[in-house]
Structure 1
Amino acid sequence: MKTMPPVRHSPTPAELGFRMPAEFAPHDACWMLWPQRPDNWRYGAKPAQAAFVAVASVIAESETVFVGVNDDQYENARHHLPAHVRVVELSSNDAWMRDVGPTFLTHPDGRLAMVDWEFNAWGGLDGGLYFPWDKDRRIRMKIAEILGIERFISPLVLEGGAIHVDGEGTLITTEECLLNSNRNPEWSKADMERLLSDFLGVSKVLWLPRGCHRDETDGHIDNLCCFIAPGEVALTWTDDESDPQHAISREAREILEQVTDAQGRRLKVHLLPQPGPLHIAETEASGVDRLSGSKPRRPGDRLAGSYVNFYIGNSVVVMPRLDPTHDDEARAILESLFPERRVIAIDAREILLGGGNIHCITQQQPRAIRATGRS
Structure 2
Amino acid sequence: MKILHTTPAQDGFYMPAEFAPHEGCLMIWPERSDSWQYGAYAARKAFLTVIRAIAKSEKMTVLCSETQYDNARAQLPDEVRLVVMETDDAWARDVGPTFVVSRTGERRGIDWGFNAWGGEVDGLYPSWERDNCVARKFCDLLENDCYDKRDFICEGGSIHVDGEGTALVTEACLLSAGRNPDLSRAEIEQVLCDYLGVSKVIWIPSGIYNDETNEHVDNICCFTAPGEVVLAWTDDESDPQYALSRASLAALEAAVDAKGRALTVHRLPLPAPVTITAEECEGLDLCDGEPTRTPGERLAASYVNFYIANGAIVMPAFGDPNDKPAQDMLQMLFPTREIIAVPARDILIGGGNIHCITQQIPKR
Who is 2:120 aligned against? 125
Q: Quick check: 1:353 aligned with 2:354?
A: no
Who is 1:281 aligned against? 277
Query: In 2, are the aligned partners of 1:57 and 1:85 still within 8 Å (CA)?
Result: no
Whole-angstrom distance in 1 between the partners of 2:170 and 2:289: 27
Cα offsets for 1:256-291 (capped at 9, x unmatched): 112100000000001111112110011111111123
Q: Quick check: 1:340 aligned with 2:306?
A: no
Query: In 1, are the aligned partners of 2:125 and 2:287 still within 8 Å (CA)?
Result: no
Q: Secondary structure at the match of 1:72?
A: coil
Q: Give the counterpart letter for 1:158 in structure 2.
A: C
Query: In 2, are the aligned partners of 1:68 and 1:88 still within 8 Å (CA)?
Result: yes
Who is 1:178 aligned against? 174
Q: Give the counterpart letter for 1:83 in structure 2.
A: D
Cα offsets for 1:1-26 (capped at 9, x unmatched): xxxxxxxx954211110000000001
Whole-angstrom distance in 2 between the partners of 1:294 and 1:153: 34
Whole-angstrom distance in 2 between the partners of 1:118 and 1:287: 31
Query: In 2, are the aligned partners of 1:158 and 1:183 still within 8 Å (CA)?
Result: yes
Who is 2:363 aligned against? 367
Q: Quick check: 1:99 aligned with 2:113?
A: no
Who is 2:75 aligned against? 80
Q: Secondary structure at the match of 2:61?
A: strand
Query: In 2, are the aligned partners of 1:212 and 1:248 still within 8 Å (CA)?
Result: yes
Shift of 1:293: 6.1
Query: In 1, are the aligned partners of 2:158 and 2:169 still within 8 Å (CA)?
Result: yes
Q: Residues 192 and 289 (structure 1 numbering): CA distance in 2 closer, same or farther, change over 3 Å?
A: same
Q: Quick check: 1:23 aligned with 2:21?
A: no
Q: Give the counterpart letter for 1:88 in structure 2.
A: V
Q: Quick check: 1:148 aligned with 2:148?
A: no
Who is 1:310 aligned against? 306
What is the RMSD of the two structures over their aligned residues, measured on CA atoms?
Answer: 1.1
Q: Quick check: 1:211 aligned with 2:207?
A: yes
- Structure 2 alignment gaps of length 5 or more: none
Q: Give the counterpart letter for 1:245 in structure 2.
A: Q
Query: In 2, are the aligned partners of 1:131 and 1:293 still within 8 Å (CA)?
Result: no
Shift of 1:126: 1.0
Which of residues 208, 231, 250 in structure 2 aligns to 1:235?
231
Shift of 1:182: 0.7
Shift of 1:323: 3.2
Whole-angstrom distance in 2 between the partners of 1:248 and 1:324: 21
Who is 1:167 aligned against? 163
Q: Secondary structure at the match of 1:328?
A: helix
Compute the TM-score of the two structures, normalised by the length of structure 1.
0.94
Q: Give the counterpart letter for 1:145 in structure 2.
A: D
Who is 1:189 aligned against? 185
Q: Residues 306 and 230 (structure 1 numbering): CA distance in 2 closer, same or farther, change over 3 Å?
A: same
Shift of 1:325: 1.4
Shift of 1:295: 5.8
Whole-angstrom distance in 1 between the partners of 2:209 and 2:168: 18
Whole-angstrom distance in 1 between the partners of 2:180 and 2:319: 36
Query: In 1, are the aligned partners of 2:272 and 2:320 still within 8 Å (CA)?
Result: no
Whole-angstrom distance in 2 between the partners of 1:191 and 1:323: 43
Who is 1:50 aligned against? 45
Whole-angstrom distance in 1 between the partners of 2:5 and 2:297: 47
Whole-angstrom distance in 2 between the partners of 1:315 and 1:211: 28
Q: Quick check: 1:271 aligned with 2:270?
A: no
Whole-angstrom distance in 2 between the partners of 1:104 and 1:294: 35
Aligned pair count reads: 360
Shift of 1:294: 6.6
Q: Give the counterpart letter for 1:44 in structure 2.
A: G
Whole-angstrom distance in 2 between the partners of 1:209 and 1:330: 23
Larger mean CA deviation between 193-202 and 357-366 belongs to 193-202
Q: Secondary structure at the match of 1:113?
A: strand
Q: Secondary structure at the match of 1:126?
A: helix
The runs of at least 4 consecutive aligned structure 1 residues that moved more than 6 Å come to none
Whole-angstrom distance in 1 between the partners of 2:109 and 2:24: 14
Compute the TM-score of the two structures, normalised by the length of structure 2.
0.97
Q: Residues 295 and 142 (structure 1 numbering): CA distance in 2 closer, same or farther, change over 3 Å?
A: farther
